[in-house]
Amino acid sequence: MPGYAPALIVDWLREQGHNVEVVYNPSKSTRGQREKFFPIYSHWLNTKHLIRTTKLLARKLPELEFDLAIAPDTALALGIVALKRKRLVKKTVYWRLDYYPKKYPGPANWIYQAAEALALVWSDEIWSISSLLDKKVRKSLKRHLKKTIHVPYLLPKIPNLWPTDLRKDTVVWLGTDLDGGESRYLAQTAVARAAVIGKDYRRGVGLTVADYSNPNYVQTEEQLQKTLDTAKIGLAIYKPEKGSCKYYSDPGRIKHYLAHGLPVIVTKVAPIWRQIDLKGAGIVVEWDPDSIAEAINIILTNWGWYSKNARELGETFLVSDKWIKL
């Protein structure tokens, strides 16, 4: 089970007294990288590893039967269905962490879509990381909504808030440069414009970038926590593009903004924008520097109110049996 979101669930289940076995995927294989279907090949290797590992465990413990198996990946979901047919698993859950219609280029995407369709049909239960209120998410699930529950990216704890007087008028962008740096450049432009109010007054607004995809902006965990503790606004300005994975995802960085009391400036891409707008936990903007600059100044002028709402929304995503219903 790769990634932070599944690891959090594993830790929480163990804290609740459940016996949990974790099958880690092998590191990304270099075999077949030149092949046309390499992404699918890599998923197949992981699924094969899952089935083989579980069978070996069953040989050591002949009476073994798991009450529940959770797979955070389409191919692995098919793998645990196979284990159920071998009577090694009673109930299967496909946790839909990483879905979008055009995940891979060319024919590899047809195979992915076919596997996704089978995983939805054969899994006993589906967990959707994105809200089921979103039209795009509902449409992608079609007739499987009855067995689907919303299990979002969750938080292990809510940090203590730093006093307001220790915070700077800083905007944080926990983005990536995977879009060629467009969003980062947009953030820089917007912050520069937000700093200028009228002709004679300049506000001291700064921008902090923490980006794991760019070595120039990487921060340690300690540095990142301090950045979030001392800032005032979080940016989630994803570019509206047809077919973008962000329309179906639930970016964890937004939850961390909220947990630290940072109001979020967000575009209408990540499904959580509706909750942010409804709660008053930030401002929904266009993908435009002037729109973002205006939102920055509005929030800084009434920061206490927006921060309180952001914190309250963040607290609703604390991991608990409210979300994880076994």
What is the distance between the alpha carbons of residues 30 and 53, in angstroms, rounded to a whole number?
Answer: 21
Range with top average pLDDT, 127-141, 235-249, 307-321: 307-321
Tokens 């609703």 -> residue: 316
142, 168: one domain: no
Single-letter amino acid, residue 136: K
Greater confidence, 57 or 268? Answer: 268
d(CA 309, CA 312): 5
Q: Read off the pLDDT of residues 80-116 as tens digits, 9 standing for 90 and up.
A: 898 888 888 899 999 998 777 777 777 778 888 888 8
CB contact at 8 A, 33 and 178 = no
Total structural domains in the chain? 2
| Residue 320 is assigned to a structural domain of this protein | no
More confident site: 271 or 44: 271
* Residue 157 falls inside a structural domain: no
Residues 6+ apart with CB under 8 A from 247: 100, 136, 269, 270, 271
Q: Is 172 a domain residue?
A: yes
| Percentage of the chain modeled with pLDDT above 90 | 39
Q: Would you state the pLDDT for residue 178?
A: 66
- The pLDDT-based confidence of 64 (bands split at 50, 70, 90) is confident
In the prediction, which pLDDT does 3 show?
A: 56
253 in Cβ contact with 232 (< 8 Å): no
β-strands 264-267, 233-236: how paired? parallel
pLDDT on residue 43: 67
Same domain, 299 and 201: yes
pLDDT at 44 over 60: yes
In a domain, 326, yes or no: no
- Domain span holding position 209: 164-315
Q: Tell me: do 37 and 179 sit in the same domain.
A: no
- Examine the pLDDT at 31 and tell me if it is beyond 60: no
